Structure 1
Amino acid sequence: MEAFDATIEEQPSGYRFQILGDPLSDQFVLLGKLIEKMRRLLAVAHVREGDFGLQIVDETVRGRIESDGGEHSLGPCVVIDGRRVEWDELGRMLMPFEGWQFKLEVRDPSEEI
């Protein structure tokens, strides 16, 4: 089961949530689990507007990898807190942590991170 923000063209954008379940199970129970997951994830902010644009709130950022949308580009962008963040902007957001270590995990969209 999946829920997502949609643009006028009904294309997914912004937030996107998925949950896996038995297709023969009670779909209302599965929907309830999806809503619980959405509430948990929406309750946490990873970025905020600062004096110099978006800033990382704590030391953890969670999001989704997307294409930057360029016709001939293979570059990525990310979606954090439902906001599209270009790759170079993510790099700028990481600069206050210069010298720190990091761990990048790539997970299935249905998993909760």
Structure 2
Amino acid sequence: MDNELDCDQHLLFERLVKKVERALEAIYIKEGTFPNGQYYQTMRGDLLVGRIESSENSWDIPVLVIDDKAFSWDEVGKILMSNEGFLFSNGCF
């Protein structure tokens, strides 16, 4: 079995590296411009992944880092509005 202590640890490490590389390559926000020139940002697919970090401007208002870019809560809220009525989860049930 792959998770046993006596399995090929080098192979497990290679699998982990590939899994991390795939996750880092994923792009979650699609950006574009409508024909009228209006700029938009929306979720690519139905998944938004990022991390919460402290803001350089305000210690009590965090920023959300998605696709290696910092977004405010308001910016992420606008991105999510195209999915109004959908459910969301932190991945834990």
Please report the TM-score for the alignment, with normalisation by the length of structure 1: 0.56
Q: Distance between the aligned counterparts of 1:53 and 1:68, measured in 2?
A: 24
Cα-Cα RMSD: 2.3
The higher relative CO (CA closer than 8 Å, separation ≥ 6) is in 1
Structure 1 unaligned segments of length 5 or more: list them: 1-25, 107-113
Q: Name 1:5's counterpart in structure 2.
A: none
Structure with greater strand share of residues: 1
Q: Name 1:65's counterpart in structure 2.
A: 52
Residue deviations 1:32-74 (CA, integer Å, cap 9, x gap):
456323321133211121223321101111111111222x441
Matches within 5 A, 1:6-85: 29=10, 32=14, 35-51=17-33, 52-70=39-57, 72-85=58-71
Deviation at 1:104, TM superposition (A): 2.4
Structure with greater helix share of residues: 2
Structure 2 unaligned segments of length 5 or more: list them: 1-8, 34-38
Q: Distance between the aligned counterparts of 2:72 and 2:20, measured in 1?
A: 24
Contact 1:68 1:86 survives alignment (8 Å): no
The structure number with the bigger radius of gyration is 2
Residue deviations 1:57-109 (CA, integer Å, cap 9, x gap):
01111111111222x44111111111111111000000111112111248xxx
Q: Distance between the aligned counterparts of 1:68 and 1:43, measured in 2?
A: 24
Q: Distance between the aligned counterparts of 2:69 and 2:78, measured in 1?
A: 16
- Provide the secondary structure at the position in 2 that maps to 1:94: helix
**TM-aligned CA distance change 1:76 to 1:62, over 3 Å:** same
- Provide the secondary structure at the position in 2 that maps to 1:75: coil
Structure 1 outlier segments of 4+, above 4 Å: 29-34
